[in-house]
Amino acid sequence: MSMTFSGQVVVITGAGAGIGRATALAFAAEGLSVIVADVDVPRAEQTVEFIRAAGGNAHCVPCDVTRELDVKHLMEQVLLIYGRLDYAFNNAGIEIEQGRLADGTQDEFDAIMGVNVKGVWLCMKYQLPLLMAQGGGAIVNTASVAGLGAAPKMSIYSASKHAVIGLTKSAAIEYAKKHIRVNAVCPAVIDTDMFRRAYESDPKKAEFAAAIHPVGRIGTVEEVASAVLYLCSDGAAFTTGHALAVDGGAMAI
């Protein structure tokens, strides 16, 4: 299986922390130039510093993926800085809902759908023309195991991730003959800042989170990053429209 990348460019949203940062570091280690995009500029700049300290090439571009002008500017900067785009990892997302469906608010709905769905749609809207101009490429979107099934007390979040998978599959079919592959990663519980905020204050919740995975632990950001790199690599040249569970066996139950 080939994982070779040479002189290529990737743009990553939500790259200031967690899965986005780990994936940015992994792509840079493979020799790609990385556009690090995030609404949290200080954290995005820190990701760039880590990449450059390791000898890689990266630039920070502030971006709120819910704002079309921000996304358009992001892609303009990709061309201005590097002159090309080969891969995109649309990873920016939020998870703020913890309650039954009837207890949700319109503000929660709008916020979750705005980032998780509209943000992915806007990014692909502006990435696809660049990839077509380049002759092809690959996009990976961050969905979730919550997009592969039910997620009690997270119904809006679950709906948003089902929507990401729908966008992914539809784009994959529409652009297959343009040599553009579009896939999604669907992580289960991953050791991120979000996880620590939600679970580490309650050891019983953390134990339960580990126990729902047949492998007996939660995942790491590096494991998700490896899946993203695979989906962008030549090793996945015949894979498009796929929602890849990175879940320690959780969806096999």
- Report the percent of the chain where pLDDT is more than 70: 97
Query: Is 214 in contact with 252 (CB distance < 8 Å)?
Result: yes
Reply yes or no on whether 157 is catalytic.
yes
Q: Tell me which architecture the domain covering 9-189+221-241 has in CATH.
A: 3-Layer(aba) Sandwich (3.40)
Q: How many CB atoms lie within 10 A of CB 217?
A: 13
Listed by start position, the domains of the chain span 9-189+221-241
Predicted confidence (pLDDT) per residue in 73-129, tens digit? 999 999 999 999 999 999 999 987 889 999 999 999 999 999 999 999 999 999 999
- Strand blocks (E) in 39-175: 57-62, 87-90, 137-142
Q: Which residue has the tokens 């990701």?
A: 47
**pLDDT (0 to 100) of residue 1:** 42
Task: Please identify which of the residues 82, 87, 157, 199 carries the catalytic annotation.
Answer: 157
Q: pTM of the full predicted structure? A: 0.96
Q: How many CB atoms lie within 10 A of CB 221?
A: 22
Written as one string, the DSSP assignment of 3-56 is: ----S-EEEEETTTSHHHHHHHHHHHHTT-EEEEEES-HHHHHHHHHHHHHTT-
- Return the CA Rg of the chain: 17
